[in-house]
Amino acid sequence: MLVLETVGAPARRRRRVFGRGGAAARRAEPRPEPTPVPVTVATLVGAMPLAGHDEASAWLETADLEAEAHAAVDVLNRVLHAQRLVSADPFVREVLPEQALVIRVGVGLGEEVAQGHWTDARTLPPHRTAVPRRVHALRPQERFAALLAGRDVALAAEELTLRARLDLDRGRTREAALQLRVALEAALSELQAWSHRPEMATRLAELREERGAVAAAANRAVEGGLDATQIADVQRVVGRLEAALTARVAGGME
């Protein structure tokens, strides 16, 4: 069972803001106090019965708390993904453990845990972002500055590949295969501008050879689930695509 509760700020009434002739804007203070913001508390209640306090305490002392937290986040993300679909709202996004203010794993009675409380719990240390899967030669801050200053360009293939990676990591292999097909074609076109570099020319040749496997996986995704070989193909090509996009930045942005 997943329990969601919003705390930390008074509920706001929805108001319509009109143009000329509508409600007037209020004067803002020169040094306003920070506006309280709502915080969402997500509590995942497991269905594992424990005989009593001693058994519950023993489980809490020996459980892999990190694994329990990641499993809970996976459930929350499945709920968020479903909410994005049913609400047709692309701005509903999934979350990472390191984005949480606090993560606790604990045990409690039914009524307690249903309200986000516990009899005994452990607070996990702050999550830190894992070592990135894709390491750029330029630090993210430098690339960010280059994009804002117009010294670099954001490729459509970068965004499409990120979407394919997210779907793949979340186990949505059909969606990943379909995203990958478009991402691959975009990359082959956009990265051609850097094909004068020997390394990029080699990577582009490798990616062209993957067109058949990617097309087969995408076609299968339209019809139904992918088999193990096709999932492996998608995983491999997403990795190669990420490597090619990284190499483009690592080699300079001219």
Highest mean predicted confidence (pLDDT) among 64-78, 131-145, 159-173: 159-173
Given a cut of 70, whether residue 230 has pLDDT beyond it is yes
User: What pLDDT, on the 0 to 100 scale, is given for residue 210?
Assistant: 97
Q: Which of 243, 245, 241 is nearest to 233 (CA)?
A: 241
User: What pLDDT, on the 0 to 100 scale, is given for residue 29?
Assistant: 83
Pick among 3.30.310, 1.20.120, 1.10.3470, 3.30.1380: CATH of 140-250: 1.20.120
User: What pLDDT, on the 0 to 100 scale, is given for residue 185?
Assistant: 97
11 versus 101: which is more confidently predicted? 101
- pLDDT tier for residue 232 given thresholds of 50, 70 and 90: very high
pLDDT in tens, 10-68: 655 554 444 555 566 788 888 888 888 888 888 888 777 777 788 888 888 888 989 98
CATH 1.20.120 domain span(s) along the chain: 140-250
- Computed over every residue of the chain, the mean pLDDT equals 85
Q: What is the mean pLDDT of residues 224-228?
A: 93
